[in-house]
Amino acid sequence: MTELLLNHLGGQWIAGTGAGTTLHDPVLGDALVRVDSTGLNLPAHFERVRAQGGAALRAMSYRERAGLLKAIVAVLQANRDAYDAISTANSGTVKNDSAVDIDGAIYTVGVYAKLGETLGDARVLADGDIAPLAKGGAFGSRHVQVPTRGLALCINAFNFPSWGLWEKAAPALLSGVPVVVKPATATAWLTQRMVQDVIEAGVLPAGALNVVCGSSAGLLDALQPFDLLSFTGSADTAALLRRHPAVAERSVRVNIEADSVNSGLLMPGATPGSASFELLVKEVAREMTQKSGQKCTAIRRVLVPEALYGAAAEAIGARLAKVTVGNPRNASVRMGALVSRAQFEAVQAGIAQLQSVAETLHDGRGAALIDADPAVAACVAPVLLGTRDPDAHGLLHVTEVFGPVATLMPYRDLDHARALVARGEGSLACSLYGEDDDTAADALAATALDLAALHGRVHVVTPAVAALHTGHGNVMPQSLHGGPGRAGGGEELGGLRALNFHHRRAAVQAAPAVLSRLTPAA
Ligand code: NAP
């Protein structure tokens, strides 16, 4: 029998009372560990988390809590090798892809530690200036932001067990809000181990960081009015959560990061082999294959001027043809597995669905896997699809196949391209590929502003930043993550903006003598 991972709530390690769900190696098929949340008295545990963890965190200043984040970074760095091994075993990722998850997380916590220091010894945040409510300012109104008195329930998707945990936990802990993380079952091991390491290192007050592994049953029922729900996952699950009484009746504040059919757009004027053309080709191939395409931000739709459809198909296909797929333990493998055999089946079905309306421009699935049994391993090689008539096929604009899959689409002019992008109904990220001259910069800025209404982030790549840009799909803590419409309507990260979600804004109306004492900066 494999090890049963423990849950941690309110300072206690607690085993589920059921048989548990077994997590598997998606390449070898081996059983790894089990998770189980059966029998937990969640309302009682959550109450302790709020009382213990919340009170201890709120008693500290932002600077002190930034110190906690710094200590977490040290713990995670010290155990990095173990995380890499768990990633290989449970997520089937090659080293570079594991690093996106693990190092991306450590970097994010580090950024919040630094941002927290800038807030100094305050315990509340000022929000705007005093607004006079009486003649001469003898009575006025000042807005303050105070940490919410509840807990943050963070429910994560399977593709980022490390980054997904810490990009949510870091702003919450810095705000003074205790965290209960519920990782996706398929890859819960890495999340659980990181929480365990941080708890065992004794760097956080009891109750500040908690983990529930296994079924989500009962988690939302235990939420109270001042709690927060931060969800990352599919639009279908998000729709369920939005209807739950905790959200619909008890006004639990909710942030949703859902799926998204992101696009990459090569600006008009490019030619085969021009710098912007090459930048788009390189980025599309990388986006399709990094983490086997299991990134919510990955480019799914590739828009090029119609004269370049053939050249782009050829150039992207040529790059994809070099991608070796199989067992991530083999040094010659560039792309590992999807997270599970269930995802393998879902991705194969998704490709078939898109193929019903699109042509296949590159299909790597004919090549043999390296060091992996195709009957067992959840490995899918990259597939580039295409259509010469993108207006005719709505399916291609709203279907997210969560694997190494993208669709190439030609556009007539920039208005047509923007209309096609808009058919994604709101996405996390869009990238534009153009040149460096002033005319190009004018067009890029105007297009970025136009597309900003449909996206959480617009990423503009030109030759001048070819070696500097952070990548279409990489989520940087300094920039907003989230997107309108089908992307969930959420907002995460964005530097200190992330703290807004974890604070309650209130107006205090009083005489200047009182208002000036509310915050150190007043
Ligand atoms: P999912 O099936 O929606 O699951 C997400 C999380 O919700 C898991 O932890 C899951 O737990 C939990 N869950 C399922 N049913 C629930 C319920 N009734 N109540 C409470 N929690 C529940 O999504 P996934 O398959 O893990 O993730 C893939 C999707 O996530 C993709 O569509 C991707 O685009 C999206 N994603 C979005 C972002 C973003 O930032 N926008 C980032 C990453 C991924 P179990 O695993 O135990 O079922």
In a shared domain, residues 285 and 237: no
**Which of 259, 287, 400, 474 most suits a substitution to test ligand 1, by most atoms within 8 Å of the C-beta?**
259
240 Cβ below 6 A of ligand 1 = yes
Residue 25 lies in a domain: no
CATH of the domain at 472: 3.40.309.10
Asked if residue 21 is part of any domain, the answer here is no
Q: Are 302 and 205 in a shared domain?
A: no
292 CA to centre of ligand 1 in angstroms: 17
Q: What is the pLDDT of residue 1?
A: 86
483 belongs to a structural domain: no
Q: How far is CA 85 from CA 91, 165, 187, 328, 459, in A?
A: 10, 18, 13, 11, 32
Please check whether residues 77 and 119 belong to one and the same domain. yes
Identify the domain containing residue 297 by its residue range: 263-478
| Residue 94 CA to its chain's centroid (Å) | 19
Q: Is 31 a domain residue?
A: no
Residue 195 sits in the same domain as residue 217: yes
Residue 64 makes CB contacts below 8 A (sequence gap 6+) with none
240 CA to middle of ligand 1, Å?
11
Same domain (yes/no): 498, 511: yes
233 lines ligand 1 (CB under 6 A): yes
The predicted model scores a pTM of: 0.96
- For ligand 1, whether the C-beta of 254 sits within 6 Å is no
The span from the CA of 385 to the CA of 313, in Å, is 9
Q: What is the whole-number distance in angstroms between the Cα of residue 158 and the centre of ligand 1? A: 7
Task: Name the residues annotated as catalytic.
Answer: 257, 296
Say if residues 206 and 52 touch (Cβ distance below 8 Å): yes
pLDDT at 117: 97
What pLDDT is attached to residue 522?
40
Residue 158 near ligand 1, beta carbon < 6 Å:
yes
Q: Is residue 484 part of a domain?
A: no
Whether 471 and 374 map to the same domain: the answer is yes
Number of domains, the chain: 2
Question: Do residues 334 and 323 touch, judged by C-beta distance below 8 A?
Answer: yes
pLDDT computed for residue 519 by the predictor: 82
How many Å apart are CA 349 and CA 310, to the nearest integer?
Answer: 26
**113 and 141 share a domain?**
yes
Each residue's pLDDT tens digit in the chain (522 positions)? 899 999 999 999 999 999 999 999 999 999 999 999 999 999 999 999 999 999 999 999 999 999 999 999 999 999 999 999 999 999 999 999 999 999 999 999 999 999 999 999 999 999 999 999 999 999 999 999 999 999 999 999 999 999 999 999 999 999 999 999 999 999 999 999 999 999 999 999 999 999 999 999 999 999 999 999 999 999 999 999 999 999 999 999 999 999 899 999 999 999 999 999 999 999 999 999 999 999 999 999 999 999 999 999 999 999 999 999 999 999 999 999 999 999 999 999 999 999 999 999 999 999 999 999 999 999 999 999 999 999 999 999 999 999 999 999 999 999 999 999 999 999 999 999 999 999 999 999 999 999 999 999 999 999 999 999 999 999 999 999 999 999 999 999 999 999 999 999 999 999 999 999 998 754
245 and 209 together in one domain: yes
Does residue 298 sit in the same domain as residue 207? Answer: no
Residues 249 and 374 in one domain: no
